[in-house]
Amino acid sequence: MTSRRQVLTQSAALIGAASTGLILPARAQSAKIRVGLMLPFTGTFAQLGIACDNGFRMALEEKGNKLGGREIEYFKVDDESEPSKGVENANKLVQRDKVDVLVGTVHSGVQMGIHKVARETGVLCIIPNAGMHAATRALCAPNVFRTSFTNSQPTLALGRVMMQKGHKKAVWITWKYAAGDEAGEGFKEGYLAAGGTIVKELGLPFPNVEFQALLTEIASIKPDAVACFFSGGGASKFIRDYAAAGLAGKIPLYGSGFLTEGLLDDELAPSAQGIVTTLHYSTSLATKRNDAFRLAYAKAYKMQPDVYAVQGYDAGQLLIQGAAAVNGDFSKKKALYVAMENAVIDSPRGKWTMSKAHNPVQDMYVRVVKGKENVVQGVAAKALSDSGAGCKLG
């Protein structure tokens, strides 16, 4: 028979181990599911983080705020798009708050920190934006799923579009960090394969927005076109500076769709007319699913959605499907992951599936800025899958 003293000693040992983070204590099935949101709520990507958060919550609200029949409790951390705090911030959610699932983040450098924690602890992680290659390539993991893109997916489709318009010599410009460099890899692969030449690659550190010297250099090079990766507040500044430097209308500007996504207000739109981008979403997609989503989002948040809201919404949809398959019992990891791997997501961007490496297989659209919209002109790549190079899953 176990004595009271033994029970107390065993409990103390368990509590001690759990507080060091070595064991995550099991919770009763009836307890709330703990959902951690690690996103940028300040800085140049704040708008992106807020949109991911909005979209995710909207998906869950549509299901009565339950996962597999269980109530939800949210925990939130502002990661400030600061890579040096990535591990520490992820641990606030995983070790301190003991979340069942971590949803995050936007910035690829911060994602490196989350990914380290996810691999070491085995916590379920859903990436609602950051496209860093390693997460679904060489460092892929059974517990990590992405509902957005790899950094090279949108730009892979861009080069052919530019060549079809006769732009044979291009300058590539970006922020120099994982997302910009990997977007550049995708652009190079697609553009060179289509017969184009990259005459110069330019860059500046994230989140620097002092573009003037680089724009002067572009003017002197006189390429047929410029292609780029920028996003959020920095993208808006780049478009305005490009126009102010007298380049708009003279040297056509292209980009992955993050360049114009969610930014086309009265102030920016005049400088952005005619910019062509490739992306896996546009508010202008004329489908019943997208119309319904836009309406519901506008009603809930008094603003239009964008790709970041869609990716957050799809993170919610993915989790709902996984949780339903295990009746809210997240300890059934194998069944949970199988359900998430096989999920078909009925997204406002169009239906998509998960690759073996846990990254979306999805269509890439060509969009052009007209008025305040990224108007879809066609499909640049159908059911585009990332290579998943080096991933041993599946």
Which residues of the shown chain bind ligand BEZ in the complex (CB under 6 A)?
48, 106-108, 129-132, 151, 179, 231, 258
Given the complex with ligand BEZ, which of 231 and 359 has the nearer CB atom?
A: 231
Smallest gap from residue 338 Cβ to ligand BEZ (A): 27
Smallest gap from residue 382 Cβ to ligand BEZ (A): 22
C-alpha 218/C-alpha 343 separation (Å) is 45
Q: Which CA distances in Å does 329 have to 14, 221, 323?
A: 22, 59, 7
Smallest gap from residue 229 Cβ to ligand BEZ (A): 7
CA angle 298, 369, 294 (to 5 degrees): 15
C-alpha 2/C-alpha 10 separation (Å) is 11
Tokens of 274: 């005619």
Given the complex with ligand BEZ, which of 159 and 207 has the nearer CB atom?
A: 207
- Number of C-beta neighbours around residue 237 at 10 A: 17
C-alpha 175/C-alpha 230 separation (Å) is 7
Given the complex with ligand BEZ, which of 182 and 363 has the nearer CB atom?
A: 182
Q: Which residue is nearest to ligand BEZ (CB)?
A: 179
Given the complex with ligand BEZ, which of 94 and 127 has the nearer CB atom?
A: 127
CB of 394 closer than 8 Å to CB of 358: no
Smallest gap from residue 179 Cβ to ligand BEZ (A): 3
C-alpha 141/C-alpha 143 separation (Å) is 5
Smallest gap from residue 18 Cβ to ligand BEZ (A): 33
Angle, helices 307-325 vs 333-341, to 10°: value is 130
Smallest gap from residue 2 Cβ to ligand BEZ (A): 52
C-alpha 233/C-alpha 163 separation (Å) is 29
Enumerate residues 6+ apart whose C-beta is below 8 A from 374.
257, 260, 261, 264, 277, 279, 282, 283, 284, 367, 368
- Strands 350-354 and 344-347 turn out to be antiparallel
Query: In this structure, which amino acid lies at residue 141?
Result: A
Half-sphere exposure of 251 (CA within 13 A, CB side): 26
Given the complex with ligand BEZ, which of 311 and 355 has the nearer CB atom?
A: 311
Smallest gap from residue 347 Cβ to ligand BEZ (A): 17
CA angle 42, 115, 312 (to 5 degrees): 50
Smallest gap from residue 29 Cβ to ligand BEZ (A): 36
Given the complex with ligand BEZ, which of 68 and 83 has the nearer CB atom?
A: 83
Given the complex with ligand BEZ, which of 132 and 225 has the nearer CB atom?
A: 132
Smallest gap from residue 132 Cβ to ligand BEZ (A): 6
- Number of C-beta neighbours around residue 138 at 10 A: 13
Tokens of 24: 């995550």
Given the complex with ligand BEZ, which of 51 and 323 has the nearer CB atom?
A: 51
Given the complex with ligand BEZ, which of 108 and 317 has the nearer CB atom?
A: 108
Given the complex with ligand BEZ, which of 305 and 322 has the nearer CB atom?
A: 305
Tokens of 126: 């859903």
Smallest gap from residue 152 Cβ to ligand BEZ (A): 11
C-alpha 277/C-alpha 52 separation (Å) is 21
